[in-house]
């Protein structure tokens, strides 16, 4: 398995052009961009939520350790 080169990309682009037509390609690209943005936003939201939970657990464990020492 090798890398995808220029000839392969041209064949893929030609297939897309024939299959979808020239008028629908910008619409497809626009919708694909929106989908990627929504996916990134969702993954960042999940990542932020996990980081917040981890911080809360760290604060809770730090608080309980200082209470035990007192």
pLDDT in tens, 2-37: 788 999 999 998 998 898 888 888 998 899 999 999
3-state secondary structure the chain: CCCCCHHHHHHHHHHHHHHHCCCCHHHHHHHHHHHHHHHHHHHHHHHHHHHHHHHHHHHHHHHHHHHHHC
**Residue 5 backbone zone (phi > 0: left; psi -120 to 50: alpha; other: beta):** beta
pLDDT in tens, 35-52: 999 999 999 999 999 999
What residue has token string 């392969």?
A: 8
What are the residues whose beta carbons fall under 8 Å from the beta carbon of 45, sequence distance 6 or more? none
Tell me the mean pLDDT in the region 62-66. 70
pTM above 0.95, yes or no: no
């Amino acid at each position: 398995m090798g890398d995808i080169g220029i000839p392969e990309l041209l064949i893929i682009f030609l297939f897309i052009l024939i299959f979808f037509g020239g008028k629908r390609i910008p619409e497809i690209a626009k919708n694909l961009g929106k989908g990627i943005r929504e996916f990134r936003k969702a993954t960042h939201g999940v990542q932020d939520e996990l980081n917040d939970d981890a911080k809360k657990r760290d604060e809770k464990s730090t608080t309980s350790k200082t209470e035990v020492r007192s």
